[in-house]
């Protein structure tokens, strides 16, 4: 069994970055990723906008093939993108 990675997120109550436990990746109403965790020092719930750090993700939850391994050619548009007229 591997030891959990403690990621530091700012705690409003402690007024400093502290280690976090029980990290959970969530999605906000607007569709953006966020991270919820518990402060190890004061047991206050913490919230961070942005995806959960990959070093804190369990290996079975890590996305595979989500990012292309090669860069897109110059001038190429992602699938579904509409060209802008201007």
| Residues 23/56, Cβ–Cβ less than 8 Å | yes
Q: What is the pLDDT of residues 14-68, one digit of tens each?
A: 999 999 999 999 999 999 999 999 999 999 999 999 888 777 666 555 455 544 4
Which pLDDT band holds residue 6 (cuts at 50, 70, 90)? confident
For residue 81, the model assigns a pLDDT of 58
Model pLDDT, residue 39 = 95
Q: For residue 13, is pLDDT > 70? A: yes
What sign does the CA torsion over 71, 77, 78, 79 have?
Answer: negative
């Amino acid at each position: 069994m591997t030891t959990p990675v403690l990621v530091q997120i700012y705690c409003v109550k402690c007024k400093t970055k502290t280690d976090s436990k029980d990290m959970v990746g969530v999605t906000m109403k607007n569709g953006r990723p966020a991270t919820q965790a518990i402060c190890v020092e004061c047991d206050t719930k913490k919230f961070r906008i942005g995806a959960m750090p990959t070093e804190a993700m369990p290996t079975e939850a890590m996305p595979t093939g989500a990012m292309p391994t090669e860069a897109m050619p110059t001038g190429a548009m992602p699938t579904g993108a509409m060209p802008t007229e201007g």
